Amino acid sequence: MKMQTLAIFGMVATAIGGVAYVFIYPLLSGERQAEQRRASVTRAEPVARTTGRTQQKSRREQVEETLKELDVKAKKPKNLPLPMRIAQAGLSWSKNQFLMISAGLGLFAFVAVLVISGSLLPALGAGFAAGFGVPRWLLSFLKKRREKKFLNNFPDGVDVIVRGIKAGLPLLDSLKIIALDSQEPIKSEFKAIIETQTIGMPIGEACAKLYERMPLPEANFFGIVISIQQKAGGNLSEALGNLSRVLRERKKMKAKIQAMSMEAKASAMIIGALPICVGTLVWLTSPDYIELLWTAELGRMMMAGCAMWMGIGVFVMKQMINFDF
């Protein structure tokens, strides 16, 4: 019994001594302070490297934040206010003038159809189409035509900026050259950029607003390049030179796509116009034979069904030959 007590006492003392050696001895001997010093010395070089990486990371994050901001602005809802749509079409009308012209067209169409047909329902339909549909179709047509002219001259304008910067001119002076010597609508758009910058807006934000007046990917590219260069720095002439090359390649690709799709477009136009042309020829040669289509009730129903199916067919063919890139 006495031997067992001594053995247990010896094991407990050994365990206490081991624990004390592990936890207390490093504090008394200074080993922990030495390890901390060695760790601080070994971390000195990575700290210097981390500073450079942090600077690079901050610049990269700044560029990424700029791209995200511009991407959010580019993905705004397409329900633009009427004054912005009028400005995109290149018209100088006010909102009230546009509404008055629309109301005048609708009233004229309503009265004309009512006098000719004597029926109220067709007159209401014609008035609604002329007052609501025709003016907005006109805005869309003028907008697309203006965008096409802009794309034809925009790469040349970017080249003017590149040559001006390489010659030592500031960016604003290069923009003024385009605003003075270029053709419309490039001239008016760059003049708007200069006027916006003159009232205190930074040149990067002024160039980014070009996308609001000219909603094209090319205009968005230009605003992104200028905004990133103003915030993060870099070789602007090289960036704009690359942008000019991309714009010209996109222009070539669009022309190539139009050339390759002309056969399909011609086929769709012929197929869509064939029933109308055949019906007109039959009416000219045998009017009594075809008049049943709009005099009899069954004929009018057949005409409405045919018009609906023809509209669906034309829409499907348009979507099949509409290439977006």
Sorted by where each begins, the domain ranges of the chain are 2-61, 62-234, 259-325
Please give the pLDDT value at position 45: 41
Half-sphere exposure of 249 (CA within 13 A, CB side): 7
Does residue 197 surpass a pLDDT of 50?
yes
State how far the Cα of 66 lies from the Cα of 228, in Å rounded to an integer: 7
Average pLDDT over residues 223-231: 80
Which own/partner pairs from 250-259 qualify as long-range (CB within 8 Å, at least 24 positions apart)?
A: 250/217, 250/218, 250/325, 251/151, 251/152, 251/155, 253/325, 254/325, 257/323, 257/325
Report the percent of the chain where pLDDT is more than 70: 74
Average pLDDT over residues 196-207: 80
Please give the pLDDT value at position 51: 44
Please give the pLDDT value at position 37: 58
Does residue 281 surpass a pLDDT of 70?
yes
Please give the pLDDT value at position 196: 82
Measured in whole angstroms, how far is the alpha carbon of residue 58 from the centre of its chain? Answer: 26
Please give the pLDDT value at position 22: 46
